[in-house]
Structure 1
Amino acid sequence: MTPRHLALAIGLAAVWGVNFVVMQVGLRHFPPLLYAGLRFALAGYPALLLVGRPQVPWRWVAGVAAAIGVGQFGLLLMGMRAGMPAGLTSLVLQAQVVFTVIFAVLLLGERLTARRATGLAVAFAGLALVAFDFGLSGPAGAFALCVAAAAAWGLGNVIQRKAAPPDSLRFMVWVSALSAPPLLALSLLVEGPPRLAVPAEGWLSLAYVAFVSTLGGFGVWGYLLRRYDASTVAPYTLLVPVFGLSSAALLTGEPLSWPKLAAGALIVAGVLYAGSRPRSRGHASLSPAPSALRTPAPRP
Structure 2
Amino acid sequence: MSRSRYTPRERRHRAIHAFIDRDCPVSALTPGTKVPVKSCPQCDIKSPDYVRHHGIKDCPHKPDMCHGFHAATLDHDKAQSWIDRYPDLNFAISTGPAGLVIVDLDTNKNGAPVPDKYANIPGVKDGYDVWSLALERYGARHPTDTMQVSTPNGGLHIWHSLPPGVVVNKSEGAFGWLVDIRSTNSYIIGPTSVTKDGEYRRLGDVTEPTVAPDWLLHHLEHTGHKPKPPARPRPRIIRQRSDQDDREYRGKTVQDLAHELATAQETERHAVLVRVTAAAAYLVHRGLCDEAEMRDAMYDAGRDAQRTDYEIHKAIESALSYTAGRAA
Q: TM-score, normalised by structure 2?
A: 0.23
More strand by share: 2
Higher Rg of the two aligned structures: 2
Higher relative contact order (CA 8 A, sep 6+): 1
Which of the pair is proportionally richer in helix?
A: 1
